[in-house]
Amino acid sequence: MLAVLGAVLLWLGWPVHPAVLALLLLVGWVPYLLMEQQLTAHGASGWKVWRYSYLLLVLWNLFTTYWVSYSTLGGGITAVVCNALLMSLPLTAFYHTKKRFGPKLGYLSLPIYWIAFEQVHLHWFLTWPWLTLGNGFAQANQWVQWYEYTGFLGGSVWAWLVNLLVFGAWFGFRRATLQAHANTIASAGKVSWLWPVLTVALPMAVSYLIGSRYQEKGPTAEVLVIQPNVDPFNEKFEGGANFISHDLQLQRMLTLTEQNLTPQTKLVLWPETSLDETYFESNIDTYPKIQRLRQWLGQHPGVELITGLTTVEQYGSDKSKASPTARFREDLGYYDIFNAALHLGSATGRAEFYHKSRLVPGVEGVPPWLSAFVIDLGGTAGGLGSQPERTVYRTATPGLSVAPVICYESVYGDFVGDYVKNGASLIGIITNDGWWSDSPGHNQHLQYATLRAIETRRDIARSANTGISAFINQKGEITQRTGWWVQAASRATVHLNTEQTFYVRYGELIGPACQVLAVLLLVLTVVRAAQNRKQLAA
């Protein structure tokens, strides 16, 4: 029951439930802490403690991200089962550290292990940081305006700190033994309730103070975002039951753009994979659709376009010049396929490309040895290429430099911060959220973007094929949003901030620090365990 209760509290506190329920994230781990304490007090084995911990994690993942199964049932099951398994690693490390060193160092180690895991989960090839604890405050981002200093891992620290203090005030930090359980449960190691109250109230007060004093910064420009609403399962890709030809899809976007353009519009955003036919980057201007876009831009001088598309870059027959993700064909040599963004600044200006670099595990980012297990969601899937640097599109409009963030990339705080470090004054998110039906998935994705606005203090223009297109200001407030599953266009005047926040300037500090501490704690735990075994053997 404690495992179920913990999972329910964490789920209820997560977006997109009402913002006030985010308070549950500050107590959602208390049932786990009590469960672990009770089990160890009754002499349960580490294997039994792990089983109940894993039950909590599986249920939390299931309740919060079940919608992944709407795109593929196998992918949804894998995401829930495997992510819960990975999440159990820091809890297992905590159990062993507490067992060897007692409650004081044990409970201190728990947030360190957890945040070290979250940092790893941001950067390895099976990265899936959707349930990073700091993301959970997206619906109540008025409480975490201090993310401009800490990033979203600061929210993870806050959540664990409050949970531990509430647990200590309610049940007490005690060495879990049968004797202690029988006789001293009420009094051992209690924490004053003053501490958890202050730990909740002070960060909120600081956040409201920052938010009340913050003013939008920078010159302005008018931006137009297009939501063509093409069903990704049945209409968008060749082979779909109601496939809409690529020519008609392009016409739909041009029509929506033309109908909503004004003389003041400086930038137009089209969604991810708006142009889904494969385009070779080396001769991009030979394609009729690109020529059509060039012609349209010539009719609207001063307007620039960013659109998603699928591209190919060739490396020739020399394998040493190819990337690690390159494929090979006799007629093409070594080549990469990219989920890309294209910037066309004018009818004749140079075409600029950005290659999506945070790839969806099992869909786009697949190592060669896992390619047999790729999950196909339509379009191009499996082993896509990427690039090491964040490209920023600099426009002819003074002060307007755009970060082309593609879909899943918007979940990563330090990653988006790199665009800003490279000079972006506006974050432009292009995405396709139609895979998840009308579920919490596309709403969570939108809400996470509000945290990126706070961390970087940049306005965000968000163009979704379908899902929710929106504008977000520098305080993380959604100022405009479209409906779900409708053709739409939104136009807004955005501010172009050029100042860098502390988080952008110095990057992720909390995660790497916790990784170093976690390694030290693990080494100490292993050494202590070896010493204990040696003593028992003697």
pLDDT at residue 507 tops 70: yes
- pLDDT, tens only, 49-97: 999 999 999 999 999 999 999 888 888 898 999 999 999 999 999 999 9
Tell me the fold of 220-308+342-353+390-502: Nitrilase/N-carbamoyl-D-aminoacid amidohydrolase (3.60.110)
- pLDDT, tens only, 422-470: 999 999 999 999 888 889 999 999 999 999 999 999 999 999 998 899 9
pLDDT at 382: 53
Domain boundaries, given as residue ranges, for the chain: 2-213+508-537, 220-308+342-353+390-502
CA dist 165 → 160, 187, 387 (Å):
9, 15, 43
pLDDT at 436: 86
Average pLDDT of 270-283?
94
Q: Which residue has the higher pLDDT, 280 or 277?
A: 280
Mean pLDDT of the chain: 92
pLDDT at 180: 42
Label each residue of 212-278 as H, E or C.
HHCCCCCCEEEEEEEECCCCCCCCCCCCCCCCCCHHHHHHHHHHHHHHHCCCCEEEEECCCCCEEEE
What count of residues does the chain have?
538
From CA 447, how far away is CA 13, in angstroms rounded?
14
- pLDDT, tens only, 338-391: 999 999 999 999 999 999 999 988 778 765 545 544 444 444 445 799 999 999
Q: Which of 391, 424, 410 is nearest to 464 (CA)?
A: 410
pLDDT at residue 178 tops 70: no
